[in-house]
Structure 1
Amino acid sequence: MLNPIDTAAVIRDGGAVGRYPDQIHEAVGWWLGSCLVVTAKTSRLAVAHDGHPVSIGFADRLCQGATHAQHYACTIRYLRQRPAEELLAEAKSYEAPAAWVSTAPAASGDTVRIRLYTANGVLLDETNGLADIRNLIEQDRIPIPVNTQAQGKIKPWPPESPEEARP
């Protein structure tokens, strides 16, 4: 694994949390996106962030990872900057798992938190997917697409143009 992390320390509390860039890096976003799609067996995902520049980078990588998750051809509804409550409401109407990225600035390094949710809006824990995601990352078994037809797509939401609104 390139640039490994301490999975036990970082993959916890409903997703991932760590000091950036010491404990956590943007690739963790990619890994979580891909692993969430595969463990949830979903072709839909909703993603948002708090607007912090570091959060944007992690959310973008999470979306990219989700588009590259085996054969799921996941469509990511990317809400960009939104409160977690709005993300969860949209995810519920979209019938999709969700991921919300936030960053808390600190003198010793920004703390990044990525929260992962089931399609029912329940925060992931050891019994509903988080342990499986940690194991995939720990064993360097991050899912990749089986072919180019299996690659998903990112759709900004709400759509900014009629083309983006098409399925």
Structure 2
Amino acid sequence: MLNPINTDVVIRDGGAHGRYPGEIHEVVGWWLGACLVSTLKAHRIAVAHDGRASSVVFVQRLCRGAISAQHHACTVLTLRVADEDILLRTMAELGEVPGARVSTTGPEGAETVSVVLYGPDGKALDEDTGLATIRRMIADDRVPIPVNETAKGRIEHYPHPPTAEGAKQ
């Protein structure tokens, strides 16, 4: 592993969380995307972020990792900026697919990035539903890579549904 992280500290509470820069770096997004797809054997996932610059970088890496996960040829549907409720509704609408949402808090240069991974049931992954497996894969440097170009997936922009406020108008 070229740039290791302390997986026991960072991979917790439904995903990866850490100070950026410092505890977490952009490649963690790639690792999480590839490991999420491989662990859940997903052929389609939905992703979103909060619009902050650091979140965008992490979600871009996550998407590239997800489409590169072994032979799964995963289609990543990106909602771009969307809150957790919109992401969860979209995951259910798509047929209970897994998902991920990246958010950033704090001032630039001392931010905390959180990447929450969701199972097809819309719940954040826990130790028994894939998080322990993902932590172990990253710690053991066993992040899945594509077997060949034809096994690679694709990223598509997904038009997310209107917000609850927009639906009332």
Q: Structure 1 length normalisation: TM-score?
A: 0.93
Give distance in 2, aligned partners of 1:105 and 1:150.
Answer: 38
- Written as runs of structure 1 = structure 2, the 5 A alignment for 1:44-83 is 44-83=44-83
Give distance in 1, aligned partners of 2:108 and 2:76.
Answer: 33
Which position in structure 2 is the counterpart of 1:124?
125
Q: Supply the AA of the counterpart residue of 1:150.
A: A
Once superposed, what is the RMSD of the aligned Cα atoms? Answer: 1.2
Q: Deviations over 1:27-56 (max 9, x none)?
A: 000000000000001100100000000000
Give distance in 1, aligned partners of 2:44 and 2:94.
Answer: 8
Give distance in 2, aligned partners of 1:50 and 1:120.
Answer: 22
Q: Supply the AA of the counterpart residue of 2:44.
A: R
Give distance in 2, aligned partners of 1:153 and 1:55.
Answer: 20
Q: Supply the AA of the counterpart residue of 2:4.
A: P
Alpha-carbon deviation of 1:156? 0.7
Q: Supply the AA of the counterpart residue of 2:130.
A: G
Give distance in 2, aligned partners of 1:85 and 1:107.
Answer: 26
Q: Which runs of 5+ in 2 are unaligned?
A: 161-169
Give distance in 2, aligned partners of 1:152 and 1:40.
Answer: 15
Please say which of residues 103-112 and 29-38 is displaced more in the overlay.
Answer: 103-112
How many residues are aligned here?
159
Q: Supply the AA of the counterpart residue of 1:23.
A: E
Q: Structure 2 length normalisation: TM-score?
A: 0.92
Question: Structure 2 vs 1, CA of residues 128 and 7 (structure 1 numbering), >3 Å: closer, same or farther?
Answer: same
Which position in structure 1 is the counterpart of 2:159?
158
Q: Which runs of 5+ in 1 are unaligned?
A: 160-167
After the TM superposition, which parts of structure 1 deviate over 2 Å for at least 4 consecutive aligned residues?
none
Identity of counterpart residues, as a percentage? Answer: 53
Q: Deviations over 1:45-91 (max 9, x none)?
A: 10000000000000010000000000000000000000011011101
Give yes or no for contact 2:21–2:109 (8 Å, CA) kept in 1. no
Give distance in 1, aligned partners of 2:24 and 2:37.
Answer: 20
